[in-house]
Chains A and B, each alone.
Chain A
Amino acid sequence: MILNTKKIKKEFALYKHKKNLVYLDFAATALTPDLVTTAMNEYYEQYNANVHRGVHEMSMIASEMYERARRTVADFIGADTNEIVFTSGATAALNALALGLEHLLTPDDSIVLSRFEHHSNLVPWLEVAKRTGAHIRYLEITSDGALDLHSINQVIDESTKIVSVTALSNTLGTLIPLETIISRAQEMHAYTIIDAAQMAAHHEINVKKLGCDFLVFAGHKVYGPTGAGVMYGRMSALTLLEPSAFGGGMISHVSYDHATWGNIPFRFEAGTPNIAGALGLAAAIQFLQELDMHSIGMHVDMITKYAHKRLKEIPQLRILGPQHHTGIISFVVEGAHAFDIGTLLDQEGVAVRTGHHCTQPLLALLGVPSTVRISCGITTSQEDIDECIVALTKAIKMIS
């Protein structure tokens, strides 16, 4: 394997507490290395103050550290520092985008999503469509679980104002051809939003090369804390975005009758931000960068291939989705409910996800009520996969 998973596991207190844990649920939340909690504790213990407000020393240190965290995030995805907005997560970022771009939409316009979307990149747009009269269209899925390339030119046309797609399916592990989609959207002068929630932890991202207008991801899925997330916006696109949360910290001037907004990105960060969360997120990013994003990508790819090969050895099991899975594999077991499999795996210390994975329409399309999903990360070893296979075989035997 590319990464030394034994050594990396030592960086996580969780593995000390749960010695036999086989964690295969990175797509739901990645684990948190100790240096993330250390960075957050340091804030509370050494310079616990609000940012951008006080003149006292602690507030200035907190502000400097918070803005340094913003630079770390910007460098991580190849953005400029003032193009990074801290949010409470990917869901909050997508909601802010849906609300903030709503003013651009009319009943003649279309919003393009894909059939793979997580509810977080679907429900906000359903609401916007309801209010504006704009139509939602979907990039199609092929019978083997890939994005249907032919649908890109058919679905994205002159009426399309916004294209908002996931980079990587959280249910199937399908990699979405972003370059082709963005290129078509640009031809049609549509704004592009990338939900990189599943992509950011294990793949190099450069927003300038990608050419998207917006990109979002969550802190807890990149080995950072929960409640911290990122909304990147190209500066010219951010100027079109209306703030959707109002109050302290986001204004320039306020009278009893009127308010004007502060500079970007602050106008999108109303109220006291999750300062410790931002610092923890920056620490997580630095941790990933030290491991090297390219090596992480290769490791996750290799271990997923190994998992795929081992899972295929179990005859009762049907793997859903594409030929090539990126970090995530969903499957169903003939004659067994995913809930049963997940429950029995849990008894063996193997943590997987079961259910609809917040993609109910996709599962309905695939004709399955729920799946068992394994998702790999930087600590996943061949031994973890082997133990999962043993537990899985045992579970199937118990049920059948």
Chain B
Amino acid sequence: MTLQEKMNTLRATFESFPDWELKYEYIIETGKSYPGLEASEKTEDCRLHGCQSQVWLRMTVHDNVLQVRVDADSLVAKGIATLIATLCSDVTLQEVATTDIAGFCKEIGLLSNLSPTRAHGLLSMITTIQKFASQQI
């Protein structure tokens, strides 16, 4: 699946939620069901700053395809981070580097309902992934 196709699927999922509760239940369940990172992988050098909760981000590239794995100590942050990591995994570096992922998150309401502190953390995650992808091309 291309990044664009993944984004379309996520948009359709978010549009199907009639209220905030279902949306957050989905975000929380996403976080809960994602395995996260090993304790030894959650090092200071891969921790994101700017979010109230602690978020860790690990990235690898194989044959021009990106893999993003995340973890967080809060369920909501982990859920959001997982959604972004899933979007940006198994797609090409070029797609990740050139797509307006932040704009998309705002459009589907993943960003607009978050306070600047949390949005900042989310934005810094997207920025970090895109910067990494650009450097790897």
Closest B residue to A336 by beta carbon equals B75
Residues 15-40 of chain B: 1 if any A CB is under 8 Å from the residue's CB, otherwise 0?
Answer: 00000110011001000000000000
Residues of A within 8 A of B73 (CB): 337, 369
Query: Given A347-B20, A398-B24, does the pair A340, B76 have CB atoms closer than 8 Å?
Result: yes
- Check B118 against A398 for contact (C-beta < 8 Å): no
How far does the Cβ of B55 sit from chain A's closest Cβ, in whole Å?
10
How far does the Cβ of A394 sit from chain B's closest Cβ, in whole Å?
8
- Check B24 against A337 for contact (C-beta < 8 Å): no
- Check B118 against A343 for contact (C-beta < 8 Å): yes
Residue tally, chain A, CB below 8 Å to B: 17
How far does the Cβ of B108 sit from chain A's closest Cβ, in whole Å?
16
Question: Which of B24, B52, B53, B118 is close to A344, meaning CB atoms less than 8 Å apart?
Answer: B24
- Check A339 against B53 for contact (C-beta < 8 Å): yes
Q: Is the interface of B mostly helix, strand, loop or mixed?
A: helix
- Check B28 against A399 for contact (C-beta < 8 Å): yes
Q: Give the most central of A343, A354, A398: most B CB within 10 Å.
A: A343
Chain A positions 140-190 with a Cβ under 8 Å from a chain B Cβ: none
Chain B positions 22-73 with a Cβ under 8 Å from a chain A Cβ: 24-25, 28, 52-53, 73
- Check B76 against A339 for contact (C-beta < 8 Å): yes
Residues of A within 8 A of B105 (CB): none
Residues 111-137 of chain B: 1 if any A CB is under 8 Å from the residue's CB, otherwise 0?
Answer: 001110010000000000000000000
Chain A positions 358-379 with a Cβ under 8 Å from a chain B Cβ: 369-370
How far does the Cβ of A212 sit from chain B's closest Cβ, in whole Å?
35
Rounded to whole angstroms, the CA-CA distance of A278 and B115 in the bound complex is 30
Residues of A within 8 A of B25 (CB): 398
- Check A339 against B74 for contact (C-beta < 8 Å): yes
Rounded to whole angstroms, the CA-CA distance of A339 and B118 in the bound complex is 9
Q: Is A355 an interface residue (CB 8 A)?
A: yes
Q: Is B93 an interface residue (CB 8 A)?
A: no
Q: Is B77 an interface residue (CB 8 A)?
A: yes
Q: Is A204 an interface residue (CB 8 A)?
A: no
Chain A positions 314-342 with a Cβ under 8 Å from a chain B Cβ: 336-340, 342
Rounded to whole angstroms, the CA-CA distance of A398 and B20 in the bound complex is 12
15 contacts between A and B (CB under 8 A): A337-B53, A337-B73, A338-B52, A339-B53, A340-B28, A340-B77, A343-B114, A344-B76, A346-B115, A347-B21, A354-B52, A369-B73, A398-B25, A399-B28, A399-B75
Interface residues in chain A, defined as those with a beta carbon under 8 Å from any beta carbon in chain B: 336-340, 342-344, 346-347, 354-355, 369-370, 394, 398-399
Interface residues in chain B, defined as those with a beta carbon under 8 Å from any beta carbon in chain A: 20-21, 24-25, 28, 52-53, 73-77, 113-115, 118
Q: Please provide the 6 A-B residue pairs with the shortest distance between their CB atoms, ordered closest to farther.
A: A337-B74, A339-B74, A339-B53, A347-B20, A339-B52, A340-B76
